[in-house]
Structure 1
């Protein structure tokens, strides 16, 4: 993501593509960017905790996938509510990848 800052260095605007005003790149998982996106003060501990939760969701997705790939757990062993949430996240991630908003390639700076 590309950001525009005010005189105090606070994020004012975010864009997917750089332009004359938004030229500074921040990773999508940046705590500062996440705090801005949920309209909080980055110095606020609650905002940092919420941003950390958002980033941690991806870690849990990867752990669940790894455990299933290694045959240590089966998808059907997860509680029904967890199965629904995992399927929903996979579907959303697939849709985002289809729109080229998320990239697994390193150095792909112009794509989230």
Structure 2
């Protein structure tokens, strides 16, 4: 991304292409660039993003419940979904090994 800064050196605009006003280029993962993008989001966008993690957990719980009750088989899910659910389950298992509090995750996947 190419950026434009104000007199204080604060990023005020972005462009995908270089121009007379956008001469400085930053990598996409630059901290200043990410902070600028985050600050330019609407309150609705920020609220939606904050619920994404919780919603993902709800969906994991629903899948677990459906599998547990025999409504679906885990193998009925697309392979990509199976891989993602198993990866998250493994990460939660590793995290639980260091947490002192139980987060109630006992889903049979």
TM-score normalised by L of structure 1: 0.53
> What CA deviation, in whole Å up to 9, does each residue of 1:51-97 have, x standing for no partner?
11111011001000000000011011000000000100100111111
- Aligned-residue RMSD, C-alpha: 2.5
Q: For 1:49 and 1:101, how far apart are their aligned partners in 2? A: 30
Deviating more after overlay: 95-104 vs 52-61: 95-104
Tell me the residue number matched to 2:84: 85
TM-score normalised by L of structure 2: 0.54
Higher relative contact order (CA 8 A, sep 6+): 1
Q: Which consecutive residues of structure 1, in runs of 5 or more, have no partner in the other structure?
A: 1-37, 106-112
Kindly tell me the number of residue pairs found equivalent between the two proteins.
68
Q: Which consecutive residues of structure 2, in runs of 5 or more, have no partner in the other structure?
A: 1-33, 105-109
User: Runs ≥4 in structure 1, deviation > 2 angstroms?
Assistant: 38-43, 101-105
Tell me the residue number matched to 1:22: none
